Structure 1
Amino acid sequence: MEKDKGILSIDGEAAKAEDEKQPDPIDGGKSDQADKGKVNPAHTSENGESVSESPVIIKEDYSRYFDGINGCAVFYNSRANTFHIYQEEMASVRVSPCSTFKVISTLIGLEEGLVDSEESRMGYDGTIYENTTWNQDLNLKEAFQKSCVWYYRKLLDQVGEEKVKKWVDALDYGNCDISQWKGDGSVNGGAEELNGFWLESSLEISAREQTEVLARIFDGNTEFQEKYVSMLRDMMKTEDEDTCGIEIYGKTGTGQNGNHADAWYVGMTVDGEETNYFAVRLAAAKESRITGADAKNIALRIIHK
């Protein structure tokens, strides 16, 4: 197709007993309400496999961090099998992952051998994009951090729909629906190289599911090789141990569907040996101009509280 010039990018970038609450992964136990019932910690089956019991859901009030913006937040400690959730109903609603799916695309590209390091480059074809950082050859790390859609569109096309579907199914990623492989043309001016199943199209996932997928990946419970998971982790690094001693890793995402806008920030925090996975999602009218950067700022405020 003839490529549009100056395309605006939408996605250029988120009880041990009944009377004893699980500690908040961020503030050490300042939660407002926990589901009733005892914790059933994970145990080991007869064949040596870990058996997961029902998780503990602790309802949080993070409204003061959202400044009136409609949104939800999930923090998941997989070792304790405990979720801290703000706006539980919203956190269970599936929507497009937008650019947060680059976390998965990166691993798939590495595992399938289409890229082999952070320095793996793809050539720029000369199309002028509104996001000027895309108007050049980019390597994998640059494309991830600049959230370059054309790079990842090209990467996934080289992997192929059948293999991508295999990985999405193995991860149990939301609804696992990549049937609109090329997207529906509703974003980024309809440009083919800026549309895809992960951009306001067929693939959808909830905030809670985002944290569960991240836990499977970074806890080593997938078929992705550790060297590639480690490479991805380095690309996701957001902050060093500076203000609060917590390392933060994440990926933003922004999308518009008609008059509706979604913004994501998903990732994990590492504090010593303690890891917590998180997802913050915002939802508002298109005119609000919310972005993944807004979701990120809210997540960081919660983490640093």
Structure 2
Amino acid sequence: MKKLLILCFCIFCFSCKKEAEKALAPNAPKEYKISEEELTKRTKDNLIKKESFQKIIDSVHLKGSILLYDAKTELYYSNDFIWAFEEQLPASTYKIPNSIIALETKAVADQNTIFKWNGEKRFFKSWEADLTLHQAFQRSCVPCYQEVARKIGVKRMNAYIEKLQYGNIKVDSINLDNFWLRGNASISQFQQIDFLKRFQQESLPISKRTSTIVKEIMILKETDNYVLRGKTGWSIEGEHHNGWFVGYVESSNHVFFFATNVAPTSKDFDQKAFQKNRKEVTYKALGEFINLSI
């Protein structure tokens, strides 16, 4: 009995130590700790390593992973599957499910719903205007989607996150309007693609109307040969920057899904280059499979 009490006390102390570490360093960057052994357990024959993707990322002085999924062959391609299994803050990629939930709960009426600007200075000049839902999505307007989240509310947000099976996210009254940017929210590149596949194939438990509207506001480019839909994301934890670009490309008989997650390799952070390069590296990787002409 004495040994059991000592063991329980040790476990309790270890647990408290871990919680204290989290409290003291909430903005510490994530460490990528999935082991080669664990990767092997998760690995299937449909994971194809692409060294060319690594060269693409290296060329713009980033680190991270480009993950592509070919729906026709059911093959995944990446330069770093270990990174692709790790979970990150979803950042503004959450505007995809946030838009879905807003429409399903009638927190917004449609893509033409207007968010009034209060006249206050905002992080980006492009946010300083009255914006429709479509414009707010395209410009990634954080204040607009914070308003959306508050209208949805904690209870409905949590219920729909579970319903949509989107990442590992817990929402409460404190983090309701910023949980996707900081706090107890995470999603991996594989989870992003799983969600996008279900969305594109219309197997999510949502209305056809909602699906149609969100697919429309996600369009980045449409040509005679393909339609490109996507959303970027950018989170900052302390000095740690993490960037996303997720979405899919549809051609006449082919669909490619993508989820890119990258971070800068230098402390000399170039915001404009980072915003541009998370998309550019993805386009170059996709270019090995489909002619995007972007």
Normalising by the smaller structure, the TM-score range is 0.7 to 0.9
Segments of 5+ residues of structure 1 without an aligned counterpart are: 1-34, 37-53, 184-194
* Structural mapping, 1:120-269, within 5 Å: 120-179=113-172, 181-182=174-175, 196-241=178-223, 245-269=225-249
Check conservation: 2:69, 2:75, Cα contact below 8 A: yes
Using the TM superposition, give the Cα deviation of residue 182 of structure 1 relative to its aligned residue in structure 2, in angstroms.
2.3
AA aligned opposite 1:165? N
2:267 and 2:172 map into 1 onto residues whose CA distance is: 26
The reply on whether 1:299 has 2:282 as its aligned counterpart is yes
Alpha-carbon distance change, 287 to 166 in structure 1, aligned in 2, over 3 angstroms: farther
2:162 and 2:123 map into 1 onto residues whose CA distance is: 34
AA aligned opposite 2:48? I
- Greater CA deviation, 89-98 or 276-285? 276-285
1:115 aligned residue: 108
* Candidates 59, 68, 82, aligned match of 2:49: 59
* Candidates 263, 268, 290, aligned match of 1:283: 263
Using the TM superposition, give the Cα deviation of residue 99 of structure 1 relative to its aligned residue in structure 2, in angstroms.
0.5
1:98 aligned residue: 91
Alpha-carbon distance change, 292 to 55 in structure 1, aligned in 2, over 3 angstroms: farther
The structure with the greater share of residues assigned to helix is 2
Using the TM superposition, give the Cα deviation of residue 103 of structure 1 relative to its aligned residue in structure 2, in angstroms.
0.6
1:224 and 1:140 map into 2 onto residues whose CA distance is: 18
1:106 and 1:260 map into 2 onto residues whose CA distance is: 27
Identity %: 22
Partner of 1:287: helix, strand, or coil?
Answer: coil
Using the TM superposition, give the Cα deviation of residue 247 of structure 1 relative to its aligned residue in structure 2, in angstroms.
2.3
Deviations 1:66-116 (A, max 9, x none): 114101011123454432222000001111111110011111111111212
Check conservation: 2:96, 2:231, Cα contact below 8 A: yes
Using the TM superposition, give the Cα deviation of residue 158 of structure 1 relative to its aligned residue in structure 2, in angstroms.
0.6
Q: Using structure 1 for the length normalisation, give the TM-score.
A: 0.73
Using the TM superposition, give the Cα deviation of residue 293 of structure 1 relative to its aligned residue in structure 2, in angstroms.
2.9
Give the alignment's Cα RMSD to 1 decimal: 2.2
AA aligned opposite 2:175? K
AA aligned opposite 1:240? E
Partner of 1:230: helix, strand, or coil?
Answer: helix
Give the count of matched residue pairs: 241
AA aligned opposite 1:253? G
Alpha-carbon distance change, 84 to 240 in structure 1, aligned in 2, over 3 angstroms: same
Check conservation: 1:241, 1:247, Cα contact below 8 A: yes
Using the TM superposition, give the Cα deviation of residue 179 of structure 1 relative to its aligned residue in structure 2, in angstroms.
4.1
Larger gyration radius, structure 1 or structure 2: 2
1:191 aligned residue: none
Check conservation: 1:247, 1:271, Cα contact below 8 A: yes
Check conservation: 2:218, 2:231, Cα contact below 8 A: yes
Segments of 5+ residues of structure 2 without an aligned counterpart are: 1-38, 289-294
Partner of 1:133: helix, strand, or coil?
Answer: helix
Check conservation: 1:180, 1:196, Cα contact below 8 A: no
